[in-house]
Amino acid sequence: MTAALVLAAGAGRRMGGPKALLTIAGETLLHRAARAALGAGCRPVLAVTGAWDPGLEGLAVGTVPNPGAEEGMASSIRVGIAALPAAQSVLLLTVDQLAVDEVLLRRLLALAATDPSRPAACAYAGTVGIPAVLPRRLFPELLALRGDRGAKALLLRESAATLPFPEGAADLDTPEDLRR
Domain span including residue 109: 2-179
pLDDT at 172 over 70: no
Q: Which of 19-28, 77-86, 127-136, 148-157 has the lowest mean pLDDT?
A: 19-28
Q: In the prediction, which pLDDT does 173 show?
A: 61
Handedness of CA 114, 90, 145, 130 (dihedral sign): positive
pLDDT band at 169; cut points 50, 70, 90: confident
Residue 68 contacts residue 129 (beta carbons within 8 Å): no
* Spatial contact of 133 and 2, defined as CB atoms under 8 Å apart: yes
Q: Domain of 101: which CATH number?
A: 3.90.550.10
What pairing do the DSSP bridges indicate for beta strands 89-94 and 2-8? parallel
Cα 69 to chain centroid distance, Å, stands at 15
This model's pTM is above 0.75? yes
Cα separation of 14 and 17, whole Å?
8
Q: What is the pLDDT of residue 83?
A: 96
Phi, psi angles (nearest 5°) of residue 108: -65, -45
Cβ atoms < 10 Å from Cβ of 178: 16
**DSSP reduced 3-state for 164:** strand
Q: What are 119-137's pLDDT values in tens digits?
A: 999 999 999 999 999 999 9
Q: Taken in order 76, 60, 27, 53, is the CA torsion positive or negative?
A: negative
3-state secondary structure of 154: helix
Q: How many domains does the chain have?
A: 1
pLDDT digit string, tens, across residues 35-64? 999 999 999 999 999 887 788 888 999 999
Which residues, at least 6 apart from 149, have a Cβ–Cβ distance to it below 8 Å?
A: 72, 73, 74
Q: CB of 121 within 8 A of CB of 113? A: no
Q: Are 120 and 32 in contact (CB under 8 A)?
A: no
